[in-house]
Amino acid sequence: MHILRRALLGSLWAMIGWKPSFAAQASPETITQDEASSVTPRHVLCFLGRDRDLSRLSEAAGQAIRDFATGFSVDEDYSQAEPDNRMSRSFDVCWDRVEPDAWDEADEKAVADHQSVLYLLGPSMAQAETVKVSMTALRLVERLIAAGAVAVKGESAGIAHGLDRWKELIRQAAEAQKANDPLTQQRIGRLAFAKRPLSARGYLESVGFHLVGLPEVCAPEAMGSERQVVAIIDQVADEIAGHGLDPTLKKRRARLSFESTYEVDEFKFNPYGIVRLSE
pLDDT single digits (tens) 87-96: 999 999 999 9
pTM of the model: 0.90
pLDDT single digits (tens) 222-272: 999 999 999 999 999 999 999 999 999 999 999 999 988 888 889 999 999
149 Cβ contact list (under 8 Å, min separation 6): 47, 48, 49, 57, 118, 141
- DSSP E strands, 27-124: 29-30, 44-49, 73-74, 116-121
Helix (H) or strand (E) holding 166: helix 163-178
Predicted local distance difference test score (pLDDT) of residue 14: 41
* Ordered domains of the chain (ranges, CATH): 41-189 (3.30.70), 195-276 (no CATH)
Q: What percent of the chain has pLDDT over 70?
A: 88
Closest CA to 52 of 115, 113, 109: 115
pLDDT single digits (tens) 140-161: 999 999 999 999 999 999 999 9
> How far apart are the C-alpha atoms of 223 and 232, rounded to whole Å?
9
Give SS3 for 239. Answer: helix
Annotate 61-87 with b (16+ C-beta within 10 A) or e (fewer): beebbeeebeebebbeebbebebbeeb
Q: What residues form DSSP beta bridges with 204?
A: 199, 219
